[in-house]
Structure 1
Amino acid sequence: MRFGLKGMGIAPAAIDKENTGHHHLLIDVDKLPNLDLPLVATDKH
């Protein structure tokens, strides 16, 4: 799996830095979690 991003930087979720973000990879989920809420770490992501 390869993620990419143009025009922004990548930072961990706890870092609040302008023009940055991070990726999530969800594995074998039956339905998407509520993406308006923080994602809780599990064995699926």
Structure 2
Amino acid sequence: MVLKDGAWVTGIGPFDTGDRVTFHVSATDNTGRRVITPDQRFLVQALATD
């Protein structure tokens, strides 16, 4: 992860067209407190062409 414009960001993948992806985000502060988001899901509909 990197701090960019005041937000922590990262990339995920690679994925293939048709993949169903389930993920969550977990964050732990310096005192050891942790929060975890509910699961999020998405379907990969097409691959980007760069």
Give the TM-score, by structure 2 length: 0.23
- Larger radius of gyration, structure 1 or 2? 2
Higher relative contact order (CA 8 A, sep 6+): 2
> TM-score, structure 1 length as denominator?
0.25
Report the structure, 1 or 2, having the larger strand content. Answer: 2
